[in-house]
Amino acid sequence: GIGEHKAVSLKNGARVDLNTDTRVAWKEGSDARLWLERGEIALSVPAGTALTVHAAGEVVLIGGADVIIRLRNHTMDAVVVTGQLLIGRSMVTPSANDVVTTGEGVLIGAGERRVRTLTPKEIQFVSAWRQNELIFEGQTLAVAVEEYNRYLTNKIVIVDQELAAIQIGGRFKSRDPADFLDTMDSSFGIHVSRDASGSVMLSR
C-alpha cells in the first residue's frame, strides 16, 4: 500500500524489497521468476543464483547483483547498484550490449533500450528509499514532490509553477514530509498550507 515498505525472501536466497504502492508475483524453483506488476523493487540476488524478472513486457536476468527496478509509464527502469543484469531471456552468450553493469541504468520498453551511466549521487537518490529516506542533491522541486507523493495519502501540490524548477538538497524521511516542508519555508520562502481535503499546497 501507499507508504508501506515490505521485504520478501525467496528460497534461492534472493531478497526483494518492495517500495510504496508496489505489487509483485513470483515463482520459486530452479527457474525462479518474479513479475513486477506495479511500483518499484530492490533485488539482492546472491552469486551463483539467477532470478528472471518480468516488467512492462520486458525480461531481465539478474545473478550476483543488487538491482533496483521501477515501472515508469509501461517502461522498465533498472539501475545496477552492484553486479550486472542481462537483458533478454537467455544467459548463454549474451552480446555486449545486452549487459548492464555496476553504476549503469537502463530504460527498456516500446522496442527501445537506453543505457546510461549514473553518478554516485544519482545511485544514492534512487536507492535512498531502502532506508526510508529521500535524498535530494540538486533535483528540482517538481521531481522532489513527485517522489514524495508516492508515499503520501495527502499529496503535495505546487500551486505556482515557477517554483517547480527550484533546485533543492537535503536528506528527509520518506513517510513524514514535515522536515521537507519546513525546509521549503525556511530556506526557500515557499508558503506551505493545506486545503480542505488535506493536500499540502506550495505557493509564493
Query: Which residue type occupies 37?
Result: E
The pLDDT assigned to 35 comes to 96
Write out the CATH class of domain 6-118: mainly beta
Q: Among 134, 133, 140, which Cα is nearest to 158's?
A: 140
Same fold, 6-118 and 132-203: no
Cα gap 37→40, rounded to integer Å: 9
Question: Across residues 170-176, what is the average pLDDT?
Answer: 92
Residues 132-203, CATH architecture: 3-Layer(bab) Sandwich (3.55)
pLDDT above 90 for 104: yes
Cα gap 194→172, rounded to integer Å: 20
Most confident region among 7-11, 85-89, 154-158 by mean pLDDT? 154-158
pLDDT above 80 for 111: no
Instruction: Determine what percent of the chain is predicted with pLDDT higher than 70.
Output: 94
Cα gap 108→189, rounded to integer Å: 40
pLDDT, tens digit, 9 for 90 and up, residues 80-99 = 999 999 987 544 555 555 89
Q: Chain centroid to CA 62: how far?
A: 17
This prediction has a pTM of: 0.87
pLDDT above 80 for 5: no
Residue 86 pairs in a beta bridge with 61, 99
The domain locations on the chain are 6-118, 132-203
Q: Which of 9-23, 95-109, 121-135, 188-202 has the lowest mean pLDDT?
A: 95-109
> What is the DSSP code string of 100-135?
EETTEEEEEETTEEEEEE--HHHHHHHHGGGGTEEE
Q: What 3-state class would DSSP assign to 146?
A: helix
Query: Which residue type occupies 71?
Result: L
